[in-house]
Amino acid sequence: MSGESSITVTGNLTNDPELRFTTAGSAVTNFTIASTPRTFDAQAEEWKDGETLFLRATVWREAAEHAAASLTKGSRVVATGVLKPRSYETKTGEKRTVTELDVEEIGLSLRYTAASPVARQTGRQATPTAAGQAGSHPADDFTISPRQYADDDAWFGKDANPTGRVDLPAVPEW
């Protein structure tokens, strides 16, 4: 949208994401990101934690389903979005306003840990294969062991080159 400023927040989820669906069927996931700044105190020669920011975040539609499936309590995330004010009234009648992050993009932070992407199925439901794994590749179900190849096979047979070296014949000089 025009005139809105995006911000990026890095922090850890305080709880598992909560996936819900609107009456119209749109997915929405809510979670809280805790972000604590750290500074180095040169006099004490140690790192000190600043005041923690707890930011409520919302992500919509397909990204909401992906976030709920991928993130858990404690996940370190990098989230980009727009700050939105939301007003409400408490049970005692007090009017309050909170600022929430309307997430546009979110991903796992790889600063302290590694992650492996998992491709999602598009357009069709994953079906179990002969090996029993949903959505696996046909090559994953290959049932012949390399030890069952012919003994004279150059790549897998008993005379295969165990060192992996290939000695090329000398090229004659002209």
pLDDT of residue 5: 80
Please provide residue 148's backbone torsions phi and psi, each rounded to the nearest 5 degrees.
Answer: -95, 0
Question: In order along the chain (174 residues), what is the average pLDDT of each group of 10 residues?
Answer: 81 94 93 93 91 94 93 94 91 91 93 76 47 50 47 52 55 61
- The predicted model scores a pTM of 0.63
Tokens for 153?
């096979």
pLDDT of residue 106: 94
Could you give the CA distance from residue 102 to residue 57 in angstroms, rounded to a whole number?
A: 6
